[in-house]
C-alpha cells in the first residue's frame, strides 16, 4: 500500500537509515506513487519531524546530520523525476556565512532543513562578502540567510543589509540571520527581517516571512 511505503520512507528518514530510505523510495517509484507524494509525505514529512525533535532537544546535531544523509539518499532517486514532473520548489533561498567567518556547521544544518522543507537553496559558502549576497538577490533569491559565529564577524551582517539597501534590493528580499552570538534584538538593531535561534526555526521563519 502506498501509505505504508510513504510511512516507511518518513520513518527511515527520522531514524537516519539511508539504505532503507533509498530502497523504499525506489519501491515507491516502481509502484508508480506520485513523485510529489514521495517528496511531501515521505522525505519532507520525515525531515519535519526531525526539525521538531531538534527544536525540542530530543535530537542533537549528529542525529540531524544522519537524517539529512538519509533524505539526500532518497532525493537522489527522485530528483530526475521531480525535474520531469515540473514540481516547483516553495521558493529560492540563498545562504552564507558572513565575511571573515569560516564556521559552517550551523549554516549547513540550516541548508538541510530548508531543503528538507522543499526550498531550493543556493549555498554561498563561508567568508562571503556582501557583494555575493547582493548577487544572489539579483539572481532571484527570495530570502538571504546570514550565519555568523563570532562576535567579531556578526557586524558584517549589517554590511550585507547596507549593500542591499544601496542596490535598492532591500524591499525585494528578506534577510534572516542566525548563529550563536545572534539575538532578536541584534536583528532589530541592524534591520534584518528575521532571526532564527536554530536550524528548525529557520524553516518556520522563512515560511512566516514568505506567507507560505
Ligand atoms: Co570556532 N569559535 N573559531 N572554530 N568554534 C567558536 C564559535 C567559539 C564560541 C569557541 C570558544 O571560544 N568558546 C569562539 C567564538 C567566540 C566569540 O566570538 N564569542 C570561536 C573562535 C574564537 C574561533 C577562532 C577565532 C579561533 C582561533 O583561531 N583563535 C577561529 C575563527 C576562524 C574564523 O571563522 N575566521 C575559529 C575556528 C574554528 C574551527 C575552524 C576550528 C571550527 C569550525 C569548523 C567548521 O565550522 N567547519 C570551529 C568550531 C567547530 C567552533 C565551535 C567549537 C563549534 C561551532 C559549531 O559548529 N557548533 C564553537 C564553540 C561552540 O559553539 N561550542 C566555536 C555547532 C553548530 C550546529 O552550532 O553554528 O551555532 P551553530 O549553529 C546553530 C545556531 O547558531 C543556528 O542553527 C544551528 C543549530 O540549529 N544557526 C542559524 C547558525 N547559523 C544560522 C543561520 C540562520 C538561522 C540559524 O539563518 C540564516
Give the pLDDT mean for 95-106: 95
Residue 195 — pLDDT band, cuts 50, 70, 90? very high
pLDDT for position 105:
85
- The answer to whether residue 202 scores a pLDDT higher than 90 is yes
Report the CATH number of the 92-209 domain.
Answer: 3.40.50.280
Closest C-alpha residue for ligand 1 atom 50: 103
Say what the pLDDT of residue 190 is: 98
Establish whether domains 2-85 and 92-209 are of one fold: no
Is residue 206 within 8 Å of 178, Cβ to Cβ?
no
Instruction: Collect all residues with Cβ–Cβ distance below 8 Å to 58 and sequence separation of at least 6.
Output: none
Q: Provide the residue ranges of all domains of the chain, joining segments of one domain with +.
A: 2-85, 92-209
Per-residue pLDDT band for 112 (boundaries 50, 70, 90) equals: confident
Burial (Cβ within 10 Å: 0-12, 13-18, ≥19) of residue 152: exposed
- From ligand 1's centre to the CA of 145, what distance in Å? 16
**CA distance between the termini of the chain:** 30
What's the pLDDT tens digit per position in 79-99? 888 777 778 899 999 999 999
Asked if residue 141 lies in contact with residue 92, where contact means CB atoms within 8 angstroms, the answer is yes
| Ligand 1 within 6 A of CB of 170 | no
Nearest to 59 by CA among 198, 206, 203: 198
Q: Is the confidence at residue 49, as pLDDT, over 90?
A: yes
How much is the pLDDT for 81?
A: 85
For ligand 1, is residue 55 a contact (CB within 6 Å)? no
pTM reported for the whole predicted model:
0.88
Please tell me if the CB atom of residue 176 comes closer than 6 angstroms to any atom of ligand 1: yes
Give the pLDDT of residue 177. Answer: 98
Alpha-carbon distance values, 114 to 94, 153, 163 (Å): 10, 24, 25
Q: Give the helix/strand (H/E) hosting 42.
A: none
Give the Cβ contact number of residue 83 at 10 Å.
10
Mutate to test the pocket of ligand 1, among 109, 180, 182 (most ligand atoms within 8 A of CB): 180
Q: What are phi and psi of 32, to 5 degrees?
A: 60, 30
Ligand 1, atom nearest to 200 Cα: 80
Burial of 8 (0-12, 13-18, 19+ CB in 10 A): buried
- In the chain, % of residues over pLDDT 90: 79
**Residue among 96, 98, 104, 106 whose CB has most ligand 1 atoms within 8 A, to mutate:** 106
Q: How far is the CA of 103 from the centre of ligand 1 (A)?
A: 5
Q: How far is CA 153 from CA 103, 149, 204, in A?
A: 11, 7, 25
What is 2-85's CATH number? 1.10.1240.10
Three-state DSSP at 193 gives coil
Taking the CA of residue 104 as reference, the ligand 1 atom at the shortest distance is: 46
Read off the pLDDT of each residue in 104-112 and give the average, rounded to a whole number. 88
| Distance in angstroms (rounded) separating the CA atoms of residues 72 and 183 | 31
Q: Is the CB of 111 under 6 A from ligand 1?
A: no
Question: Please, which pLDDT band fits residue 102 given cuts at 50, 70 and 90?
Answer: very high
C-alpha of residue 180 to centroid of ligand 1, in Å: 7
- Cα(104) to ligand 1 centroid in Å equals 8
Predicted confidence (pLDDT) at residue 77 exceeds the cutoff of 90: yes
Amino acid at each position: 500500500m502506498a501509505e505504508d511505503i510513504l510511512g516507511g520512507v518518513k520513518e527511515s528518514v527520522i531514524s537516519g537509515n539511508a539504505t532503507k530510505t533509498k530502497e523504499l523510495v525506489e519501491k515507491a517509484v516502481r509502484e508508480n506513487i506520485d513523485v510529489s507524494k514521495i517528496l511531501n509525505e515521505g522525505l519532507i514529512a520525515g525531515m519535519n519531524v526531525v526539525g521538531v525533535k531538534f527544536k525540542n532537544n530530543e535530537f542533537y546535531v549528529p542525529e540531524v546530520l544522519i537524517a539529512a544523509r538519509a533524505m539526500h539518499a532518497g532525493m537522489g532517486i527522485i530528483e530526475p523525476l521531480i525535474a520531469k514532473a515540473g514540481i516547483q520548489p516553495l521558493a529560492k533561498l540563498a545562504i552564507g556565512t558572513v565575511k571573515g567567518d569560516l564556521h559552517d556547521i550551523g549554516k549547513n544544518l540550516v541548508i538541510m532543513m530548508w531543503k528538507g522543507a522543499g526550498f531550493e537553496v543556493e549555498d554561498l559558502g563561508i567568508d562571503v562578502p556582501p557583494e555575493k549576497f547582493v548577487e544572489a538577490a539579483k539572481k532571484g533569491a527570495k530570502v538571504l540567510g546570514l550565519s555568523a559565529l563570532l562576535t567579531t564577524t556578526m557586524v558584517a551582517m549589517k554590511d550585507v543589509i547596507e549593500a542591499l539597501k544601496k542596490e535598492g534590493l532591500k524591499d525585494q528580499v528578506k534577510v534572516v540571520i542566525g548563529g550563536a552570538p545572534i539575538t532578536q534584538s541584534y536583528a532589530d538593531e541592524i534591520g534584518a527581517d528575521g532571526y532564527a535561534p536554530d536550524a528548525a526555526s529557520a524553516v518556520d521563519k522563512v515560511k512566516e516571512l514568505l506567507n507560505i
